[in-house]
Structure 1
Amino acid sequence: MAIKVGDRIPDATLYTFNENGIEAVQTADMVKGRKVVLFGLPAAFSRTCSAAHLPSFMRTRDAFAEKGVEDIYCISVNDGFTMAAWDKDMGAAEAGVTLLGDASGDFTRALGMEFDFPQGGMFGRSKRYALVAEDGVVTHLNEEVQGGVCELTVGEKLLENL
């Protein structure tokens, strides 16, 4: 069952790679007592994720801050090394978006957002979603209903809901 407004963000371990090496990040720590945006996408470096989804949150970071959002996290079923390389390529951290890898897919499955796209060689990936959580509880949620589309889950669309 997919996560919905009013549900709690499940605790899971996500990964980043920084000057200290691989760092584990607990989702419970990311959301506790804070207003945050989490958005998921199918794959780092993929065409739509790089051209539309991630850049939409990089563009809207300041507007989210004006609405009280403290952090924006991009989550993909990739490892921390891949997410760090994508960050370097895209400049996400400088734009105020933190990229985190859900290497095992545990977080994505706990959200009920997993999907397979065998024709594209993608298995156990994340559907496109964007949500706002306050103190760990989902207050706003947008999910793409059609594969291959990135319209409902861009930063601008989530901002309209706040």
Structure 2
Amino acid sequence: MTIEPGSQIPDVTLMERTPDGPAKMSSKEFFDGKRIVIFGVPGAFTPTCSLNHLPGYLENRDALLAKGVDDIAVISVNDHHVMNAWAKATGAEGKIRFLADWDASFANATGLAKDLSAGGLGVRSTRFSMLVENGVVKFVEVEENPGQATVSSASAMLERL
């Protein structure tokens, strides 16, 4: 079952590339005491993720922060090296947090995992966006079609905020 508003974010280990190297963090620690917009993508460097979903959040970063958001993060079932390379390649490094859900533990625990083996990707995250306040989901939007970023887009998030 997909995580719903009012649910606590599950506590799993994520990874992020920092200036000091790769760092593990608990999702509980990441969301604790903050208002965070997080969006999930099936894969770094994939077409819709790189050409539509991520750029929208990068372009609307300041507007989202002006709505009282403490941080914006993208999460994908990729390793931290891939996520770091994607951050650099898109110019989003230092502007959006790039979280690696390398073992799909976050995707599985939230019910947002999707088997994309038919397309050669294996188990990935579905495309989604959510607002999390102090570890509690306030709302979540899941795309019906992984090739689209409409209900989970930055503009849709701005309207919800």
Measured against the shorter chain, the TM-score band is over 0.9
Matched, 1:118 2:117: yes
Aligned length: 161
Over the residues paired in the alignment, what is the CA RMSD in angstroms?
1.1
5+ unaligned residues in a row in structure 1: which ranges? none
Q: How does 1:1-162 map to 2 (within 5 A)?
A: 1-94=1-94, 96-162=95-161
The question of whether the paired residues in 1 share the 8 Å contact of 2:117 and 2:123 is answered with: no
Q: Residue 97 of structure 1 aligns to which amino acid in structure 2?
A: I
Shift >6 Å, 4+ stretches = none
The secondary structure found in structure 2 opposite 1:93 is coil
Q: Tell me, in whole angstroms, the C-alpha distance in 1 between the residues paired with 2:146 and 2:59.
A: 23
- TM-score by structure 2 length? 0.96
5+ unaligned residues in a row in structure 2: which ranges? none
- TM-score by structure 1 length? 0.95
The question of whether the paired residues in 1 share the 8 Å contact of 2:41 and 2:49 is answered with: yes
Q: Tell me, in whole angstroms, the C-alpha distance in 1 between the residues paired with 2:152 and 2:87.
A: 20
Q: Tell me, in whole angstroms, the C-alpha distance in 2 between the residues paired with 1:18 and 1:84.
A: 9
Q: Residue 46 of structure 2 aligns to which amino acid in structure 1?
A: S
Q: Residue 16 of structure 1 aligns to which amino acid in structure 2?
A: E
Per the TM alignment, residue 31 of structure 1 is displaced from its structure 2 partner at its CA by 1.0
The secondary structure found in structure 2 opposite 1:82 is helix
Q: Tell me, in whole angstroms, the C-alpha distance in 1 between the residues paired with 2:71 and 2:101.
A: 18
Q: Tell me, in whole angstroms, the C-alpha distance in 2 between the residues paired with 1:40 and 1:147.
A: 11
Per the TM alignment, residue 19 of structure 1 is displaced from its structure 2 partner at its CA by 3.1
What do the CA deviations read for 1:42-62 (whole angstroms, capped 9, x no partner)? 000111100001111111111
Percent identity at matched positions?
38
Q: Tell me, in whole angstroms, the C-alpha distance in 1 between the residues paired with 2:77 and 2:26.
A: 15
Q: Tell me, in whole angstroms, the C-alpha distance in 2 between the residues paired with 1:153 and 1:86.
A: 20
Distance change (3 Å), C-alpha of 1:147 and 1:87: closer
Q: Residue 151 of structure 1 aligns to which amino acid in structure 2?
A: T
Per the TM alignment, residue 23 of structure 1 is displaced from its structure 2 partner at its CA by 0.7
Q: Residue 19 of structure 1 aligns to which amino acid in structure 2?
A: P
